[in-house]
Amino acid sequence: MSIGPIDFIDLKAQRRRIGQRMDDAILAAVHEGAYILGPQVKKLEAQLAEFAGIKHAIGCANGTDAILLALKALGIGAGDAVICPSFTFAATAEVVALAGATPIFVDVVEATYNIDPDKLPEALALAKSLGLKPRAVIPVDLFGQPAEYDRIEAFTKEHDLALIADSAQGFGALYHGRRAGSIGTFATASFFPAKPLGCYGDGGAVFTNDDRLADLVRSFQVHGKGSDKYDNIRIGVNSRLDTLQAAVLIEKLAVYPDEIEKRQVVAERYNRALANVAVVPHVPEGLVSIWAQYTIRVPAERRAKFIADMKAKGVPTAIYYPKPLHQQTAYKDYPIAGGTLPVSDRIAGEVVALPMHAYLDEATQDHIIAAARESLLGSSLAA
């Protein structure tokens, strides 16, 4: 069987399945004309809350705003410290700084790429030594795999910190039976098109069980509204989920549980085929990743050649993330727990993500696997 061009994330394959339903839903919303906070937004929020297993789901403009809204609702700002990993997308720490607080960077666990709970006490002590008030920890469900929530929750409870789960990549993953999205003082999601549950533009959501915090998010996201948006009782932002995006997401959420299962099959095939040529992802017992990325690690000095070999075979790859945040120009002056983050620094040179989506067929995946094995075995023989 011949295979066509390979997409890193194939949204066209999903369209073949539910495209007609999405198009109908979009057109219906266009005709209804309630473009801002139309009935689709409320409906989606109820469905998201039910799916996650949490009381409040609040749509917003994107996954970055979702974290910002959580920080604002918690009153986190100048003089406060927020502990987060450095090996993540910039948004995680960006909003902390934007809120006026100080991100404290912590290393990750090599096997899972998620924040290292052993390093939290050091980060807390560092924050205090700098005269900052520690307020929250933001773990990230990197590549779709839940962070080590039992230990992180025990730590945040003990030290009276908020837990804001950045589930932009992990919304819907399972942590010992709990859905990412339902864990934490707040959890946040992104519906950016390339995320496992993506819309046709920007979108995001904030999740909480706390009625008071939910009300605060709903105020901050509409210009700090009081009784209505012309009654402004705090400084807020404009961050709502569009009706059209909600209409798309209602259709996508309907197939999402099935897509999560399909992603497991793809990930397991990769694992079996690549475990003896690269470091493949490790999912601890009791966790289900939603595989936002399928990331392997190859020796740093061979990565560029691996990517070139894959490209020559028509296989797209991506590097998430080439540079941890504490090495980025905008973030290099923020405090680092322990002074250095050796795991983050090293793995940033080794990680490479392969095409991953629910509709990756076996023939295409076999081609990707063969290309990867050939490159990695070839280079190890040459070494």
Ligand X SMILES: *Cc1c(COP(=O)(O)O)cnc(C)c1O
Under the rule (CB under 6 A), what is the footprint of ligand X? 62-64, 88-89, 91-92, 140, 166, 168-169, 190, 192, 202, 204
Considering the complex, state which of residue 168 and residue 222 has its C-beta at the smaller distance from ligand X: 168
Q: How many CA atoms lie within 13 A of 126 on its CB side?
A: 20
Q: Degrees (nearest 5) of the Cα angle 285, 288, 294? A: 110
**String of DSSP letters for 46-97:** HHHHHHHT-SEEEEES-HHHHHHHHHHHTT--TTEEEEEESSS-THHHHHHH
Q: How far apart are CA 199 and CA 190, in angstroms?
A: 9
Considering the complex, state which of residue 102 and residue 169 has its C-beta at the smaller distance from ligand X: 169
Q: How far apart are CA 142 and CA 119, in angstroms?
A: 17
Residue 351 CB contacts under 8 Å (≥ 6 apart), including other chains: 113, 295, 296, 297, 319, 320, 321
Element (H, E) at 163: strand 162-166
State the residue number with the nearest CB to ligand X. Answer: 63
Considering the complex, state which of residue 247 and residue 371 has its C-beta at the smaller distance from ligand X: 247
Considering the complex, state which of residue 169 and residue 208 has its C-beta at the smaller distance from ligand X: 169
Query: Minimal distance in Å, beta carbon 64 to ligand X?
Result: 3
Q: Degrees (nearest 5) of the Cα angle 64, 106, 78? A: 55
Query: Minimal distance in Å, beta carbon 167 to ligand X?
Result: 8
Considering the complex, state which of residue 85 and residue 134 has its C-beta at the smaller distance from ligand X: 85
Query: Minimal distance in Å, beta carbon 99 to ligand X?
Result: 15
**What tokens does 254 get?**
């309907």
Query: Minimal distance in Å, beta carbon 95 to ligand X?
Result: 9
Please give the biggest Cα pair distance in the chain. Answer: 70
Helices (H), 130-277: 149-158, 211-220, 243-274
Query: Minimal distance in Å, beta carbon 5 to ligand X?
Result: 25
Considering the complex, state which of residue 192 and residue 220 has its C-beta at the smaller distance from ligand X: 192
Query: Minimal distance in Å, beta carbon 38 to ligand X?
Result: 20
Considering the complex, state which of residue 192 and residue 359 has its C-beta at the smaller distance from ligand X: 192
Sign of the C-alpha dihedral, residues 98, 229, 49, 157? positive
Residue 226 CB contacts under 8 Å (≥ 6 apart), including other chains: 219, 232, 233
Considering the complex, state which of residue 10 and residue 141 has its C-beta at the smaller distance from ligand X: 141
Question: For helices 211-220 and 63-73, what crossing angle results, to 10°?
Answer: 120
Q: How far apart are CA 78 and CA 370, in angstroms?
A: 52
Considering the complex, state which of residue 89 and residue 175 has its C-beta at the smaller distance from ligand X: 89
Query: Minimal distance in Å, beta carbon 203 to ligand X?
Result: 7
**What tokens does 226 get?**
């009081």
Query: Minimal distance in Å, beta carbon 94 to ligand X?
Result: 9
Tell me if 115 sits within 8 A of 84, measured CB to CB. yes
Query: Minimal distance in Å, beta carbon 170 to ligand X?
Result: 8
